[in-house]
C-alpha cells in the first residue's frame, strides 16, 4: 500500500545558492510518495532558470512578486493538492528518513494537526537551532521560546528533548501540517508578512481543537537568518508588531485586560534598554511596532485571520514570566524553566 502523498513546498526568494546547496538532500529523502514544489516569490536572480535546468521534475509555482512568507505560502498552497504539506525553508538540509516519523505520528492520531522535526544548527550541528529547536512554547506574556532554546541561548543536543510531546507551536522552517487543517484555520495571517506567523497559526489550530507536536525522531539542519538576520531592525519591528497583534487576536478578553498592558511595559523597558546601550535602531523599531499595532487596531484589523472556535485548552503555554526567570533569576535552559515538561 502506497503511503500518503506529502507535498514538500519550498518558498523561494532570490535563494538560488540555497536551492543549489540543499535541494539534493530533499530530493534524496527515502519517503516513497513525496512531491517537491518550489513556490517563487518574484525572485530577480536566476533561481527559476536553475530549477528548470537542473530539476525539471520539480513543479514551480511562480507568484510574480514577493508576498512574504505568509502571503507566499497562502497563494502557493491553494494550488497544491495533497493530504499533507511540509513547509520547508530553502536553507534546510534534511536527513534521508526525515518524513516517515512525522507521517507516522499524524497517521496515529487524527487530533494532531501539525508537528515539526528536531531542528539543529547547520553550522554548529551539535546545537539546537534558534527557529524552533525541539518544539516551541509561549509564556504568559507572549514570549516564544523552545525546548532547547531560550531567547538567544541554544543548548547542545544531548538527547534531552527526544520525547515526542505536544508543544504550543511548530517552526515554520520545517512545518508538517494536514492540508485540511491549514485551510480550515484560514492559513497564515498575511498581515504579518513574515515572523511569528507560524505561532499565530498554531495557536488558531489549537483553539480549533487540534494538537501540535514535536517529533524529534525526525532531524533537520537549518542555516537560519538567511533573509533577515537576528539584530536586523526590520526583523525587530516585525517580531514586536506581530507578537502584539497575535496576542490581541488569540487571547481571551479576560486575559487581554492584564496581559496587554503588562506586555506594553515590558516592551518599553526593552526599548529603553536598547537606547541606553547605544542601539537606537532597536529602540526605533519597537516604537514603530507599537505605532503599527495601533494602526492595525484602528484600520487594518479586518485583514487578519481570527480564531473560528475556542475548543480544548491549548498546550505548551507556560504560565510564568520568561523574562523574569531568564534575565533576573538567570535560568538559561528550558529544563530549568519548565521543569515538569523537560
- Whether 342 shows a pLDDT value over 70: the answer reads no
Q: What is the reported pLDDT for 227?
A: 45
Angle in degrees, CA 306, 118, 38, rounded to 5: 65
DSSP for residue 328:
I
CA pair distance 234, 173, nearest whole angstrom:
19
Element (H, E) at 59: strand 59-62
Q: Which pLDDT tens digit goes with each residue over 161-181? A: 999 999 999 999 999 999 999
Average pLDDT over residues 296-319: 92
Alpha-helix runs per DSSP H in 6-126: 16-27, 47-54, 68-77, 99-108
- Res 298: pLDDT: 97
State the pLDDT confidence band at 239, using cuts at 50, 70 and 90: very high
In this predicted structure, the answer to whether residue 226 has a pLDDT above a threshold of 70 is no
Average pLDDT of every residue of the chain? 95
SS3 107: helix
Q: From CA 37, how far away is CA 8, in angstroms rounded?
A: 6
Higher pLDDT pick, 231 / 251: 251
The Cα–Cα gap between 179 and 113 comes to 9
What are phi and psi for residue 276, nearest 5 degrees?
-70, -20
Centre a 10 Å sphere on the Cβ of residue 140 and count the other Cβ atoms it contains: 16
**Total residue count of the chain as it appears in this document:** 342
Using alpha carbons, select from 32, 19, 12, 5 the residue that is nearest to residue 76. Answer: 12
Instruction: State mean pLDDT over 40-47.
Output: 97
Question: For residues 334 and 339, what is the distance between their CA atoms, to the nearest angstrom?
Answer: 8
pLDDT single digits (tens) 80-134: 999 999 999 999 999 999 999 999 999 999 999 999 999 999 999 999 999 999 9
pLDDT for the residue numbered 232: 82
Start-to-end Cα distance in the chain: 37
The percent of residues in the chain predicted with pLDDT above 70, rounded, is 97
Q: Where residue 339 falls among pLDDT bands split at 50, 70, 90?
A: confident
Q: What is the pLDDT of residue 1?
A: 84
Tell the CATH superfamily of the 6-222 domain: Spore Coat Polysaccharide Biosynthesis Protein SpsA; Chain A (3.90.550.10)
Angstrom distances, CA of residue 15 to CA of 74, 91, 122, 273: 19, 8, 17, 35
Helix 197-207 vs helix 233-250: crossing angle, to nearest 10: 10
pLDDT, tens only, 305-314? 999 887 778 9
Range 222-237 burial, b when 16+ CB lie within 10 A, else e: bbbeebeeeeebebbb
Does the pTM of the predicted model rise above 0.85? yes
Indicate the pairing of strand 153-154 with strand 112-121: unpaired
Extents of the domains making up the chain: 6-222
Residue 13: name the closest of 194, 227, 224, 195 by CA: 227
Q: How far apart are CA 76 and CA 39, in angstroms?
A: 6
Q: Is the pLDDT of residue 204 over 70?
A: yes
Contacts of 278 (CB under 8 A, 6+ apart): none
3-state secondary structure 120-180: EECCCCCEECCCCCCCEEECCCCCEEECCEECCEECECCCCCCCCEECCECCCCEEEEEHH
Match 517552526 to its residue by C-alpha cell: 171
Range name among 3-12, 70-79, 222-231, 262-271 with the lowest pLDDT average? 222-231
Note the pLDDT of residue 231. Answer: 59
Q: Are strands 112-121 and 211-222 parallel, antiparallel or unpaired?
A: parallel
Share of the chain above pLDDT 90, in %: 94
Q: In terms of pLDDT, which residue wins out, 203 or 225?
A: 203
Nearest to 166 by CA among 189, 137, 209: 137
Amino acid at each position: 500500500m502506497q503511503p500518503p502523498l506529502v507535498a514538500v513546498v519550498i518558498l523561494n526568494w532570490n535563494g538560488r545558492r540555497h536551492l543549489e546547496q540543499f535541494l539534493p538532500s530533499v530530493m534524496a529523502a527515502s519517503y516513497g510518495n513525496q512531491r517537491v514544489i518550489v513556490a517563487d516569490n518574484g525572485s530577480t536572480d536566476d533561481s527559476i532558470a536553475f530549477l528548470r535546468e537542473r530539476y525539471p521534475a520539480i513543479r514551480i509555482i511562480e507568484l510574480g512578486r514577493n508576498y512574504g512568507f505568509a502571503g507566499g505560502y497562502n497563494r502557493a498552497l491553494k494550488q497544491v493538492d495533497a493530504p499533507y504539506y511540509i513547509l520547508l525553508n530553502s536553507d534546510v538540509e534534511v536527513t534521508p528518513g526525515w518524513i516517515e516519523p512525522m507521517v507516522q505520528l499524524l497517521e496515529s492520531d487524527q487530533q494532531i494537526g501539525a508537528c515539526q522535526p528536531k531542528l539543529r544548527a547547520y553550522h554548529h550541528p551539535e546545537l539546537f537551532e534558534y527557529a524552533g529547536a525541539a518544539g516551541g512554547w509561549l509564556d504568559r506574556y507572549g514570549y516564544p521560546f523552545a525546548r532547547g532554546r531560550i531567547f538567544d541561548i541554544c543548548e547542545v543536543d544531548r538527547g534531552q528533548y527526544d520525547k515526542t510531546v505536544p508543544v504550543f507551536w511548530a517552526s515554520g522552517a520545517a512545518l508538517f501540517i494536514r492540508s485540511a487543517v491549514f485551510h480550515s484555520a484560514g492559513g497564515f495571517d498575511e498581515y504579518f508578512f513574515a515572523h511569528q506567523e507560524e505561532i499565530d497559526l498554531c495557536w488558531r489550530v489549537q483553539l480549533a481543537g487540534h494538537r501540535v507536536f514535536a517529533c524529534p525522531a525526525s532531524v533537520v539542519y537549518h542555516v537560519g537568518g538567511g533573509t533577515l538576520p537576528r539584530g536586523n531592525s526590520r526583523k525587530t519591528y516585525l517580531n514586536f508588531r506581530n507578537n502584539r497583534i497575535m496576542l490581541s487576536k488569540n487571547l481571551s478578553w479576560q486575559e487581554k485586560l492584564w496581559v496587554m498592558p503588562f506586555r506594553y511595559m515590558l516592551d518599553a523597558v526593552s526599548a529603553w534598554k536598547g537606547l541606553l546601550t547605544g542601539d537606537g535602531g532597536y529602540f526605533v523599531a519597537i516604537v514603530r511596532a507599537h505605532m503599527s499595532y495601533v494602526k492595525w487596531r484602528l484600520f487594518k484589523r479586518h485583514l487578519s485571520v481570527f480564531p473560528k472556535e475556542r475548543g480544548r485548552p491549548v498546550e505548551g503555554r507556560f504560565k510564568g514570566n520568561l523574562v523574569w526567570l531568564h534575565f533576573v533569576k538567570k535560568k538559561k535552559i528550558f529544563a530549568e524553566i519548565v521543569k515538569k515538561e523537560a
